[in-house]
Every structure is written in C-alpha cells, then in structure tokens.
Amino acid sequence: MAECITLKKSNCKNCYKCIRHCPVKSIRFSANQAHIISDECILCGHCLVVCPQNAKEINSEREKAKVFIQSGDPVYVSLAPSFIANFDGAGIEAMRTAIKKLGFKDVEETAIGATIVKREYDRLLTEEKRDIVISSCCHSVNLLIQKYFPMALPYLADVLSPMQAHCTELKKKYPNCKTVFIGPCVSKKDEAQKYGDIVDAVLTFEELTQWLKDEHIEIEHTRDNLQESRARFFPTTGGVIKSMVQEAKEYSYLAIDGVDNCIAALKDIESGNVHNCFIEMSACVGSCIGGPAMDKRAFVKDYAAVSEYAGDKDFEVAQPETKQLRKTFNAIDKHVTTPSETEIASVLRQMGKNKREDELNCGSCGYNTCRDKAIAILRGKAEVSMCLPFLKDKAESFSDSIVNNTPNGIIVLNDKLEVQQINRVAMKITNLRSEMDILGEQVVRILNPTVFMQVLQTGRSVHNQKSYLAEYKRYVEQTVVLDSASKLIICIMRDVTDHEKERNDKEEINRRTIETADKVVDKQMRIVQEIASLLGETAAETKIALTQLKDSIQNE
C-alpha cells in the first residue's frame, strides 16, 4: 500500500490517542514515535481526526493534478456529493465555476456514478438472488473485509465504487482525458492507486480548499435545483438504500456506519447469523459527511443540507453492461504472526501483570486489554513502557525505595499544609507510630508550621536551617522547598541531635578546662606574690603560658 498518511515525527507526544481510536490497532510505537502499519491499516483516517498534535497528515496529490493540467490533456473532476455539506451554500454550478478557474476542463458530480452503482445493487438482489450483499462503495470497509474478515468476501458486492463508475464514464465520453476525484476520504487515494488507470489523482476537500485559497478564488453561495439527483443521498448513513428502488421485498435493508459497528456486523455474518440482507456499510460515523478530510463536521446540519439538495429522481445516465461494472476483491495478507501463550505470559510478567487481577484492562495504552497489549509487544507494535499503570507503579516503587531508605526524614505537604507523605525517619523524629496518625492532617500537629507558611507565601526555599524540636528533644537541619507545578511542599530533615550533643559536651569540657586554667592562674599569682623575690621573671612566663592555653581552648 502506498503511503497515504504520513507522520510528523516532531509532533508526536506519545499520548496513544491514535491507538485508542484505531479500530484495527494498525499503529506501531517505536522510539517514542507512532508509525502507521500499512499492511494492517484500513485508511479510515480516524487517527487524523483525533490526533491532538496534528502529527499525522494526508499525502497531497495537488502537484500531480497541476502536472496533468499543464500537460494540455483535458482534466475532469469527479466531485463527491458530500461537497454540499463541506462548502456551505454552494451548488454544483458554483463549484464548477470555481474549480474550472484552477485549470480543470469541467466538473461533474460523482453522484452520477452512484446512480449506476445503486442500480447494479438492485439488480444483484432481484436477478442474482444473493443471500447477503454488502455495499462496496467505501474502500475502508472493503479493506476491513479483505484484511480482517476474508470469510465475508463472497458477500462483498463485486461492483465498482461510485468514484470508479463515474470516472470510467468520463473516460468513455472524453478520450485521453485525466480524471481527478475530490472528496472527504483518505482511502480513495489508495483505491485509485490499486485499480489501474480509472482515477488518475485524488484530492481531499481540504486540499481543494487550500488550493482555491492560494489562488484567491471565492466560491459563490448559489444553489441549483435538479430533481434528477436522488443519488446525492449517497454520502449520508442509509443514503445508498434511500436511493435504491428496493424491489426485492424479501430482503432486509440495513445501514451501518462506524468501523466498530461494521466489525460487529461482520462477526455476525461470519458466524452465520445473518441472511437475506442488503447491508450498506460506511467506515465513518455519519457516512461520507463524517469523512476525515471534511473541513468541518456538523452531522445534523450536514444531513439537512444533503437532504435538501437531493432530488427524487435518478440522474439521466445510461446503465453500462454488468461486466463493465465488475470489480474483484481478494483477501489481503497482513503478515501477522500469532504468538504462543507462553510468550504472552512472559510479556505480561514484564508488564507487572503476574496474576489475572493485575490486568486492569484500563485502555490507557490504547489497547482494549493487557493481553492485546502483550500480543502487540510481541509483534513489535508496542513497548512495555506504554503501560501507564505499570510506569506509575514502577515510579512509585522507585520513589518509595528512595524515600524509605534515605537517612533523612521526609515530609510532603499540600498547599493547605496537610501531610501527604511521611517516611519512617520522619516518623521516628516526631515520635509517630504510624503514618496514618498524621496523613491528611495539618502539619501543626507535629511541627511548627511557620517555616512552611513562609516558603508557601514567598516561594523561596529554605536550606539547612537548624532548629530545635523541644517537644521531641531533637536538633534537626531543615531544607524546605516548594514544587510550584504540583503545589507541594517538601521538607527534608537531617537529625543532628547526636552531633549537637557531642558539640555541647565538647563545649562543656572546654568550659571546665578554662575554669581550671583560671584557677591555676589565680593560684600561681598568689604564689608569685608570696615568693616574687625568689622567682623573678619565671612567674611571669608561667602566667603567659597558662593564658595562652586558656585562649587556645576558648578559640576551639
């Protein structure tokens, strides 16, 4: 499959939203980047719509269309009927006028091809009496069946899509012309590439809008009325059925939109629970008016616009022979291997899922179950680190290990000065038996809150502030910091009680030594006075030596 959707690597933020919304999980994460797996993708475009970072983009064929125009060959546009919902107030004549200014020869409605297709659907039911017929207008639905439900392939209508039917007619009428389809769909680009030279290029409404804007071309808000335009209902849910004659009364006619609903229906079909049905399937919720390349989406308003614009009769177009409308669908191998139960169990253990109750199946990684995620890892589509509960538990375990094994006391407060976390060392310092005695309570119950209030009000941290906790008879050095992002106050306390006691003891010894030295000096002076005549200068030298000893002790 040619790459119709590409990824802006710098934009991907690992939110996994694309995986959560991908109905077939055809996205691989590697090196913190999302990659679309072409073999598995059905090109529904949901990842484009939901990506909050606009990391995915549709490959444009605008330059290709320009080359066709510059070549001199006549280039005709097949305009999808959902245009009426995308371009407010503009009918086909207004669109034709604007698009022809870009250099195109002419513009016709794809709904003409839809008329041909819906007639063939009616014929399949009335003449061939098939048990189940699934519409083949939506290329994403066709890919879904080809890749994931091959048993349902016999029920897929082997009929050209409206785009192909119309472009085939254009090439019959205008030999040597080029055809360009413009619509709301990504998968049509792939369909055009896969099936020969019927459609030469595909543009989305977004591409057309930008092209007109670049050329400063305005679309007039004028509507034309044409009663022979019932196939204009095609881009709405049930629109195919609504445009059909439905002469085969023994059949049930069902319209299903959204890939998840289509998958559920296909499972029922494969299980043999469905018979005598014509099923209109659309990958997009709301059908084509909900397409991924619509400039905007407003289902009620868009349906009303389509309904108002559609006529009650068929386009006047000759019906081709049945063989000219045939289209072959084959199963597509996704090249996917099925891992063993032993391999799955091993990966689950790496994810911290050691028993069934550990499997939260929360879907935060994008996969519906932990088992699905493990299988994706084994297929190289996912990484263990994509499990947010696993990462949270791992981070908390690592954090708890540091907090509980550090020699310092740690207390975490919220901006209301309520204790959120306390480690064993801090509990020992504050004489707490259990953390439950203080968690959620005001810190004032165990500590003077002044320093915490100061840090909270000023936003300035306090480092290595020495404090005496009289209630606990402990000396601590406190570092208090504010985490502005989380509004948490973190207090780190180093118990320096033993150091302070040792220092106090040393100061006491020094004090006593000084007192002893003073007494010795006084005694010596008395002796000096008594025998001054005998000792002379010796007494003075003794006094000097003792005074120096005293000063030395005081300076320590």
425-445: pLDDT as tens digits: 999 999 999 989 999 999 999
Does any domain span residue 128? yes
- Cβ proximity of 438 and 447 under 8 Å: no
User: Which residue, of 290, 318, 346, is where some domain finishes?
Assistant: 318
Using the predicted structure, report yes or no on whether residue 132 has a pLDDT greater than 50. Answer: yes
Same domain for 232 and 85, yes or no, is yes
β-partners of residue 77 are 107, 180
The CATH number assigned to the domain holding 166 equals 3.40.50.1780
Average pLDDT for residues 452-457, to the nearest whole number? 94
Which element (helix H / strand E) includes 223?
A: none
517-548: pLDDT as tens digits: 777 767 766 776 666 555 555 556 666 766 67
The CATH number assigned to the domain holding 10 equals 3.30.70.20
Q: What pLDDT score does 112 carry? A: 97
In the three-class reduction of DSSP (H, G, I as helix; E, B as strand; rest coil), residue 365 is classed as: coil
Q: What pLDDT score does 543 carry? A: 66
Q: What pLDDT score does 411 carry? A: 94
Does any domain span residue 331? no
Does any domain span residue 330? no
Does any domain span residue 502? no
Instruction: Return the structure tokens found at 508.
Output: 């006491």
- Identity of the highest mean pLDDT range in 241-245, 352-356, 519-523: 241-245
Same domain for 285 and 245, yes or no, is yes
**Proportion of the chain above pLDDT 90, given as a percent:** 65
Instruction: Return the structure tokens found at 398.
Output: 């690592």
Using the predicted structure, report yes or no on whether residue 55 has a pLDDT greater than 90. Answer: no
Lowest mean pLDDT among 183-192, 336-345, 416-425, 496-505: 496-505
Does any domain span residue 183? yes
* CA separation for the pair 550, 540 (Å, rounded): 15
Same domain for 175 and 263, yes or no, is yes
Phi-psi region of 317 (alpha: psi -120 to 50; beta: other; left: phi over 0): beta
Average pLDDT for residues 378-405, to the nearest whole number? 76
User: Strands 462-469 and 474-483, how do they pair?
Assistant: antiparallel
Using the predicted structure, report yes or no on whether residue 506 has a pLDDT greater than 60. Answer: yes
User: Which residue, of 353, 379, 403, is where some domain finishes?
Assistant: 403
The CATH number assigned to the domain holding 486 equals 3.30.450.20
Q: Is 90 exposed, middle or buried (0-12, 13-18, 19+ CB in 10 A)?
A: buried
Same domain for 167 and 68, yes or no, is yes
Average pLDDT for residues 441-457, to the nearest whole number? 94
Same domain for 374 and 438, yes or no, is no
258-279: pLDDT as tens digits: 999 999 999 999 999 999 999 9
Q: What pLDDT score does 335 carry? A: 87
Higher-pLDDT residue of 524 and 28 is 28
Same domain for 93 and 113, yes or no, is yes
Same domain for 251 and 383, yes or no, is no
Q: How confident is the model at residue 327 (pLDDT cuts 50, 70, 90)?
A: very high
Using the predicted structure, report yes or no on whether residue 402 has a pLDDT greater than 80. Answer: no
Using the predicted structure, report yes or no on whether residue 138 has a pLDDT greater than 90. Answer: yes
Same domain for 21 and 153, yes or no, is no
Does any domain span residue 328? no
Same domain for 457 and 548, yes or no, is no
Domain count, the chain: 5
pTM value is 0.74
Instruction: Return the structure tokens found at 176.
Output: 């040597």
Q: Which of 278, 36, 341 shows the shortest CA–CA distance to 133?
A: 278
Phi-psi region of 54 (alpha: psi -120 to 50; beta: other; left: phi over 0): left
Lowest mean pLDDT among 14-18, 91-95, 214-218, 319-323: 14-18
Does any domain span residue 418? yes
Same domain for 433 and 345, yes or no, is no
Instruction: Please give the mean pLDDT across all residues of the chain.
Output: 89
Q: What pLDDT score does 53 carry? A: 85
Q: Which of 109, 49, 543, 28 shows the shortest CA–CA distance to 336?
A: 28
User: Which residue, of 318, 345, 376, is where some domain finishes?
Assistant: 318
Same domain for 537 and 441, yes or no, is no
Q: What pLDDT score does 499 carry? A: 85
Does any domain span residue 289? yes
Q: How confident is the model at residue 363 (pLDDT cuts 50, 70, 90)?
A: confident
Same domain for 222 and 78, yes or no, is yes
Using the predicted structure, report yes or no on whether residue 405 has a pLDDT greater than 90. Answer: no
- Cβ proximity of 162 and 154 under 8 Å: no
| Domain boundaries, position 545 | 509-555
Q: What pLDDT score does 332 carry? A: 95
The CATH number assigned to the domain holding 387 equals 1.10.15
Q: How many CA atoms lie within 13 A of 492 on its CB side?
A: 13
Q: Is 84 exposed, middle or buried (0-12, 13-18, 19+ CB in 10 A)?
A: buried
Sheet holding 409-413, edge to edge: 419-422, 409-413, 488-495, 474-483, 462-469
